[in-house]
Amino acid sequence: MSRYEPVPKSPEARHYPDDEIDLRELFAILWVGKWIIILTTLLFAAGGVAYALYKPDIYQANALLAPAEGDSGSRLSGQLGSLASLAGVSIGEDSSSNTVIAKEVLQSRAFLADFIRRHKLEAPLMAAEAWNMRQKEWIYDREIYNPETGEWDVDENGESLQPTNWDLVKKFRENHLNVIENKDNGMVTISVKSLSPLAARQWTEWLVKDINEHMRAQDVEEAEASISYLESKLNETNIAGMQQVFYQLIESETRTVMLANAQREYVFKTVDPAVVPQEKSEPKRALIAIIATLLGGMIGVFAVFVRAFIRGGKDEPETTQTSNTTSK
C-alpha cells in the first residue's frame, strides 16, 4: 500500500445515503396521500358499523355445576353398609366418579343429537333468523322452514333442506354450547348461547337435567343387567363360598340402583342455576367498529406508501436518462 493511498473507512463509518429514512419525506408522502387515508378509514369505519348493526344480539346463559358425590348418596351408602354388616356382608365404598365420563357424554354426538330431537330444536337451530322480544316467539327464514306447516323447503335440486343429525350437532357445538371445567376445584360451567334469552336459559336447564337422567338410566340399566346375570349364576352353583361372593356382588349392584334412584341430581349438582340473561354477550359492536376503523387507516397508509414507491420507481429511469444527456 502506498504511503499516500487513503486508508479505507470502517464499515461503521461508511455512509449510505440511499439507505437512510428521511422522516420529513415520509410525512410528506402521507400528507400528499392524506385523502386516500381519510377516505379508506371512513369507508372501513362505515362498513364496520354496518356489519356490527347487522349482526343480531346473542344471549348467553351459564350454569355452574359441581360433582354430585358425597351427599345423600354417601349417607345412604353408609346406612346400607351398616345393614349389610349386620347380615355378615361387607360392602365397599364406591369411590369412582362419573363426572369425567358425563362431561364427555354431554358433548358427544349421540347425546346431543338425541337432545336436539327430543326437545324439537331443529328449527330454532337451523332456520331461526331472530327472536321477537315482544311476542316471545321465533322469527324463521321462510325460504328454509315453514313454521305453520312444520315443513322444510327444498333446494334447487329438489332435495329437502331438513338438517341431518350431523348438521344439527355441528351447529350446536360450534355456535351454542360451551363446557368448561375448572381443573383446580372440579367445577363445571355449561354455557349456552342463543338469539333468545329465554331459550338460552331453557336449553341450559334441559342439558343439566338430561345429562343427569342419562347417566342415571345408564348406571341403573347396567346394574340391573348385572343383578340378573348374578342371580342366574347363583342358582347354578351349590358352593357356599361362591354363593357368598355372588350375594356380595348382588348387594353391591342393588346399592347402585338404590343410590341412583335416591339422588335427584345424579352426576352434576347445580351450584348456580341458569337465569334469563338481561344483557347480550355478543356482538361487541364498539370493538368491531374500532377494529374496522384501525384496519382502514392501516390499509390507507399502506396504499399511500405503495403508490409513492411505484411512482418513485417510474421517475428514477427518467432522472437517470436526463443526467446522462446532461453529462454528454
Q: pLDDT tens, 159-190?
A: 889 999 999 999 999 999 999 998 888 899 99
pLDDT at 71: 42
- The ranges assigned to domains in the chain are 59-272
What's the mean pLDDT in 105-115?
95
Rounded Cα distance, 51 and 69, in Å: 48
The string of DSSP letters for 238-298 reads --HHHHHHHHHHHHHHHHHHHHHHH-SSSSEEEEE-----SS--B--HHHHHHHHHHHHHH
pLDDT at 299: 93
pLDDT at 122: 94
Q: Per residue, what are the HEC states of 115-156?
A: HHHHCCCHHHHHCEEEEECCCCEEEECCCCEECCCCEECECC
pLDDT band at 321 (very low <50, low <70, confident <90, very high): low
Q: pLDDT tens, 129-169?
A: 999 989 999 999 999 999 999 899 988 888 889 999 999 99
Mean pLDDT across the chain, nearest whole number? 82
pLDDT band at 326 (very low <50, low <70, confident <90, very high): low
Q: pLDDT tens, 224-244?
A: 888 888 888 888 888 888 878
Over 60: is that where the pLDDT of 23 sits? yes
pLDDT at 96: 39
